[in-house]
Amino acid sequence: MPNADNMNEFLFKMSQMPEKWFYKSTRLYRDSLILYKNYQRTIDFFIKELDKLNFFKNPDSRRLKELIYDILAEHPKRSLPDFCSYYLLSAFCLENLIKGYIVMHNIDFIGESKLNKKLKEHNLYKLCYNYTNIKLSESEQTLLQKLSDYSIAYGRYPVRATVNNNTPFYLQPDYDVNYTDLCVKCVENPYIEDHKIYRNIYKKINLRIKKYYTEQKQLENSKKTFSEELKFAYSETN
């Protein structure tokens, strides 16, 4: 009869199976979509209220700030959406999906008593580039880098663990853009494109997973058929 230590090791190894990573990814994907849709409804509410106040006919960044405060004061149960939380869930979702994909192709990555060092990596682009054959477009690579930053820093903490001398380009101010235009863009949800890319990456990897399991099933069926034919042939010669 197995002792407690052996059982714990067994459960630990089983928890690293690809299906476990995929299941966790699915739940995080669901929650990220719920959060995004909720934020979008909030944005739609603010746009509607700002339109009532004729803001978009003559947009002004300073007036926008004042109007937002007025709307929040009038609707105390409302709050401005924080897309950092959405990015954090999106990053965790893809991290689980990619790691499940990696283990699916590298079952020896499953650790005996501790997680394989390769599976402790949180940079989504590095995980894809170093351990998979998944081809990513330039926009997909950019989003994975962005989500990685939110995963280890901006999505969970107000500051990074170390000084970042190279500020990510997506956090750098664009001095060529009119500030009022930028504010209006923020109100209208500047995250739509990232959301589309995120969903495309999720779909792309899941299609690869489905193809892999389909091919494995076909391979098992062909082996079974082959074995049955061998058995029949053997019986015919005896």
CA–CA gap between residue 146 and residue 154 (Å, rounded)? 10
Q: Give the chain's mean pLDDT.
A: 83
pLDDT at 232: 40
The answer to whether 151 and 121 are in contact (CB under 8 A) is no
pLDDT greater than 80 at residue 145: yes
pLDDT at 140: 96
* Least confident window among 100-104, 219-223, 230-234: 230-234
pLDDT greater than 70 at residue 166: no
pTM assigned to the model? 0.82
Question: Alpha helices of 75-191 — where are they, by DSSP H?
Answer: 83-105, 124-131, 138-149, 179-187
CA–CA gap between residue 117 and residue 200 (Å, rounded)? 28
pLDDT digits (tens, 9 = 90+) for 93-142: 999 999 999 999 999 999 888 999 999 999 999 999 999 999 999 999 99
pLDDT greater than 60 at residue 235: no
DSSP 3-state of 131: helix
pLDDT greater than 70 at residue 74: yes
Sequence-distant (6+) residues with CB within 8 A of 150 are: 84, 87, 88, 90, 91
CA–CA gap between residue 153 and residue 234 (Å, rounded)? 64
Q: Give DSSP secondary structure letters for 152-168.
A: IIITT-SS-SS--SS--
